[in-house]
């Protein structure tokens, strides 16, 4: 499994541009995860949200942790700036 390098994502313009909006930051992260492995992201989102994926702003911290862990994040990828 490929380990995600989330630390570099926090410095990208697409993430920083959404600094004031949790929804925009969440959309950026979901987009990066989809580019990384769309099938795997679809599986985890389908397991967590049977009906529809909520706005990223409404995804709880433990749900983000589950998504990122399933996608390949490890202990080094836990700190957001």
Range of the domain at 31: 6-74
Which residue intervals of 1-81 are DSSP H helices? 6-9, 13-16, 22-48, 61-71
Question: Per the domain annotation, does 28 fall within a domain?
Answer: yes
Average pLDDT over every residue of 50-63: 90
Question: Per the domain annotation, does 56 fall within a domain?
Answer: yes
Residue 30's pLDDT is what? Answer: 94
Q: In terms of pLDDT, which residue wins out, 78 or 71? A: 71
State the Cα–Cα distance between residues 75 and 72, nearest whole angstrom.
Answer: 10
User: What is the C-alpha R_g of the chain?
Assistant: 12
Residue 17's pLDDT is what? Answer: 77
Number of domains in the chain: 1
Average pLDDT over every residue of 41-58: 92
Instruction: Look up the pTM and report it.
Output: 0.79
Residue 18's pLDDT is what? Answer: 63
Question: Per the domain annotation, does 55 fall within a domain?
Answer: yes
When pLDDT is cut at 50, 70 and 90, the band that residue 3 belongs to is low
């Amino acid at each position: 499994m490929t380990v995600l390098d989330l630390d570099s994502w926090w410095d990208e313009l697409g993430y920083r541009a959404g600094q004031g909006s949790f929804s925009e930051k969440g959309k950026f992260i979901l987009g990066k995860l989809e580019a990384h492995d769309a099938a795997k992201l679809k599986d985890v989102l389908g397991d967590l949200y049977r009906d529809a994926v909520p706005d990223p702003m409404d995804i709880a911290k433990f749900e983000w942790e589950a998504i990122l862990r399933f996608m390949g994040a490890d202990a080094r990828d836990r700190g957001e700036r």
